[in-house]
Every structure is written in structure tokens, then in C-alpha cells.
Amino acid sequence: MKASVIVFPGSNCDRDIQIALANSIGGPVDMVWHGETEMAKTDLIVLPGGFSFGDYLRCGAMSARSPVMREVVSRAGQGVAVLGICNGFQILLEAGLLPGALLLNAGRNFVCREVNIRVENSQTPFTNRYEQGQVLRIPVAHHDGQYFADADTLAELRARDRIAFRYCGIDGNGDAGGPDYSPANPNGSIDDIAGIFNDRKTVLGLMPHPERAADPVHGGTDGRGLLDSLVSALS
């Protein structure tokens, strides 16, 4: 399997996802500069986390207009898998590959903490290594992660099993299971949505960072399943 990580000016999780993916794939991962207009054949395109273009104008808005994005949108149209993490999710929305918007967190502050997310659809290239309903513990770190969509879009997402992950409590608690009893939903996302698919389940955008829970040294490896799922599906 061949994977490519797009590097925008201001991306800062590009190396992290490159390493985590390389560990899952067992081989190298290409880095592609945002200014490129062509891309070698690839099975997976990743838009990494970070602050591309400094979040100026609107998170992800400028990156969505980078030269390479024309190619990304075209490949996505051909069914190539595209994964957007955090800022990458914001870029996918701005590029029109996923619906809805990511607003300033309801708490108005940047939030970095471990959260629980429930796997809502395990029948996809991104989630086949998880059980339906499995709860994962993965960090979030963002300032603008409050997912919002209008009622029609939400209904569509639900009806087509396009909600990938929801923030949730554990052990029947409504909180995130942390020592401070903070709410399960860290940013006020509508319907507790942490990640969504496109209709074909070939594009995933999510706020949590699976690459930061992919190695025992991180204190948890729940994120690795997402990357391993892609390897299973795309190899």
C-alpha cells in the first residue's frame, strides 16, 4: 500500500502521522508539498493536523485552495481514500469533500485532552479493525473543533451511516472519564460528532489524533486500529 501525506505551510502533525502510518504499513510514506500540481499514484492521501497558513482567514480555508488540492479532490472523486485529521478535517470541509463546518469550541478555549470516542460504523476502510460500538481513548488538541451541520445534513449523515465517531462517556458515565469529570463532548459538537465519512466511506475527517495514540509510549494504542484498518483495506 502506498500512502501520501500532504505538507502545508504550518502543518505540524505531518511527521507524526507519517511515522505512525509507516509503522502500520511497514514501509515508507511519501510527503507531498502543497505546491505540487501532480502526485504519484497513491492509495491513501492524508491531510495532517496543524495550523496550515496559521489558521489565518479561517481554519483550512487557504489550504483548501493550495495547488495540490485540485489533485486531492480529483483523486477523492476516483475513490482514493482520503483521511483528514484535525486541521486536515477542517481542510476537507473547506474543500467541499465533506459537509458541515467546524466552529470555535463551545468553551472558547483551545482544548487538549484525552477523550472517548465510540466507533459508529465499523464497516469502512478506516474502521474495519474496530468492533461496532467500541470505545477508543484518543487525544484531541484543537481550538476550532465544534462540528456543526444543518438539520438536513445531519439527517443525511445519520441515515447513511456517515457518522464515524461520537464523543462518549465510559462505564455509563456521562463524562469523559478523566479525573476532572469534564464533559464527554470536549467542544460542543452537534450530536457529539467527532468524525464523519463521505457517502462512499472513502473520505474520513475527524478531530481526534489517532497518530498520538499509536505507540505504547503514548500511554495507549487505540488510534493504531484506524491506521491498521486502512492497511487491511488498501493493501
Query: What is the Cα–Cα distance from 179 to 173, expressed in whole angstroms?
Result: 12
- Beta carbon nearer to other proteins, 13 or 136: 13
Using CB under 8 A, which of 57, 181, 199, 200 touches other proteins?
181
Cβ neighbours, 10 Å, residue 210: 26
- Beta carbon nearer to other proteins, 13 or 157: 13
Kindly name the residue from 94, 114, 120, 211 that is annotated as catalytic.
211
Kindly name the residue from 34, 86, 114, 142 that is annotated as catalytic.
86
Quote the cell numbers at residue 68: 495540490
Query: What is the Cα–Cα distance from 171 to 99, expressed in whole angstroms?
Result: 32
Query: Of residues 143-162, which lie at the interface with other proteins (CB under 8 A)?
Result: 143
Q: Which window, 74-82, 148-156, 164-172, 216-224, contacts other proteins (CB under 8 A)? A: 216-224
Using CB under 8 A, which of 36, 58, 215, 221 touches other proteins?
215
222 binds other proteins per the rule CB under 8 A: no
Contact of 54 with 61, CB cutoff 8 Å: no
86 is an active site residue: yes
114 is an active site residue: no
Q: Least separation, in Å, of the C-beta of 214 and other proteins?
A: 8
220 binds other proteins per the rule CB under 8 A: no
Using CB under 8 A, which of 101, 104, 141, 190 touches other proteins?
141
By CB under 8 A, name the binding residues for other proteins. Answer: 9-10, 12-13, 15-16, 19-20, 49-51, 53-56, 109-113, 139, 141, 143, 179-181, 209, 211-212, 214-215, 217-219
